[in-house]
Amino acid sequence: MKKRSLVVIICILVLAASLSLTACSGLFSSSAEPSRSYIDIGKVDDPRTASIVANNTMESCVRVITEYKSGLTSASSGFVITEDGYVLTNRHCVVRFNSTGSDTTGNVGEQPMTASYSVVFADNREYSAKLVAYSSSVDIALLKIATINLPFISNEKRFQPVVLETEEELYYGERVYAIGNPENIGLILTELTIASPAIKLNKADDFDSVILDGNINHGNSGGPIFNAYSRVSGIVYARIEGTNKDTYGIGCAISTDMIIAFLESVEHAKINYKTTPVSSSGEAAA
């Protein structure tokens, strides 16, 4: 009787040990399936992307120096959009008005203050430029590098233009890259995150702003933001400051849709800018 009881007890212990090992097999066996589900939330950007973007686009970015006849000087950012030297920047960086000193006019027919312009590339090449056009409703302006400064540059290709993104939509959390001239220290790259692809900041605005989470400073205005494909997704035009100027790290940009609408509105200049997709001839896509 005792022998049979001992056999029963041993069988129970072996069964219990087997069940225990089976329950814990996930801790020790690499072939076991996990008990929870995994969700693929997308590919993480390669940390080298910022370096690739900088190498692809830095040649197209410039510092914009504006010297007004009144003695006021401002330093901002811009970028080349055509091989023959058209440069985009912000209106408030290059246009001021006589009566108020503001970048917007309150009087019909009021003329902007007289100013001279120059653009400086990353390798310190500097050229004079002229103001071609600006928008009264959106903070965008167009400069043209003076060809008189370019006697030894081939007419076939003078500058390296950017490509304006029209295929890829911005999305929340997307990583983008701004190149600009904060505090006039030179062209630097800043990594940013899209906090919102479209917000109307002011009721009077007829366009949505792209909101940027990152380090935007005075002087970044007029500079481009690039996506991971080295294409322009917008142009920086402001940073949000609190009532006591205690809000930092929130910037605003104008989307490429508004940039293209502005360029198409310039009637007195032929601007052969490039967009995605680029046609076989290299001209802007229709």
CATH code of residue 246: 2.40.10.10
Is residue 28 included in any domain, yes or no? no
Distance between CA atoms of residues 156 and 166, nearest Å: 26
Residues 212, 82 share a domain: no
User: What's this model's pTM, rounded to 2 decimal places?
Assistant: 0.77
Judgement on whether residues 130 and 248 belong to the same structural domain of the protein: no
Residues 131 and 270 in one domain: yes
Residue 285 domain-assigned?
Answer: no
Question: Residue 204's pLDDT is what?
Answer: 63
Q: What are φ and ψ of residue 229, in 5° steps?
A: -100, 10
Q: Are residues 174 and 155 in the same domain?
A: no
Residue 48 lies in a domain: no
What is the rounded CA–CA span in Å between residue 220 and residue 83? 23
Looking at the domain assignment, is residue 2 inside a domain? no
Give the structural domain span for 64.
58-162+263-275
Q: Are 129 and 243 members of one domain?
A: no
User: Residue 282: its pLDDT value, please?
Assistant: 44
Same domain for 146 and 227: no
Which ranges of the chain have pLDDT less than 70?
A: 1-46, 99-100, 105-109, 148-157, 203-206, 242-248, 278-286
Asked whether residue 51 is domain-assigned, the answer is no
Residue 267 and residue 219 in one domain: no
Task: State the pLDDT at residue 21.
Answer: 44
How confident is the model at residue 271, as a pLDDT? 93
**pLDDT attached to residue 281:** 44
Which pLDDT score is estimated for 256? Answer: 95
Residues 73, 76, 228: CA angle, nearest 5 degrees: 175
pLDDT on residue 102: 75
The dihedral sign for the CA sequence 218, 219, 224, 229: negative
Count of domains for the chain: 2
Q: Does 219 share its domain with 248?
A: yes
One domain, residues 176 and 194: yes
Res 113: pLDDT: 87
With respect to residue 9, please indicate whether it lies within any of the assigned structural domains.
no
Q: Is residue 44 part of a domain?
A: no
- 72's CB contacts (< 8 A; 6+ apart) are 96, 101
- Pair (131, 251) in one structural domain: no
Instruction: Tell me: do 218 and 135 sit in the same domain.
Output: no
Pair (84, 154) in one structural domain: yes
Q: What pLDDT is attached to residue 234?
A: 96
236 lies in a domain? yes
